[in-house]
Each structure stands twice: as C-alpha cells, then as structure tokens.
Amino acid sequence: MYLADRQSLVYTPDEAELIRFERTLDAVWQAILRAGRTGDFPANPGRLCDWCDHKSRCPAFGGTPPPYPGWPEPDAAATDTPLDRAD
C-alpha cells in the first residue's frame, strides 16, 4: 500500500488474528446459507434508501416483498459448488 508520501506498509497478522478472522468469515458464510435456505432477508434501512426504487416492495417502508423463489439450484453441469463445500 502506498500512501501520499509513497511509504510502503506491510502487515503480517499473527496466528490468533487469523483464527479470529476465520471464525468471523465462517459465521458470515453460515448466516448467508441460513438466509438462503429460509428466505429471511430482513430490511436494513439506511441513507441509501432515499435513492432506492424498491420502497414499494420493502417492509421498512410498508411494502410487501415478492414471494421468495427459494435457494437457486446449482448448475447441472457443475460437479462441485461453493454450497456443496459449505455443508
């Protein structure tokens, strides 16, 4: 990484930090899988909502989202997908 003064910084995480990051990453992935299976995608209102075209479908604005179509089926030609490796 080069800063304004062209200084290069190097970062080397220790083992404990890598383990914490791995746990965090695993927790995020498990949450994605759970949401994909259940369709539980809660609204998360924020500043960008001011520009969103989907307010009529958003529960945060009194809208009703369309029915959840379910988790997508993997490509039949693919022999191993990230979802297969996750379980």
**By the 8 A CB rule, do 35 and 27 touch?**
no
pLDDT tens for 6-26 read: 788 888 999 999 999 999 999
* Residue 60: closest CA among 41, 39, 45, 40: 45
Residue 79: the pLDDT is 65
In sequence order, what E strands does 1-87 have? none
For the chain, give the percent of residues with pLDDT over 70: 80
Residue 72: the pLDDT is 80
* Residue 17: closest CA among 5, 25, 9: 25
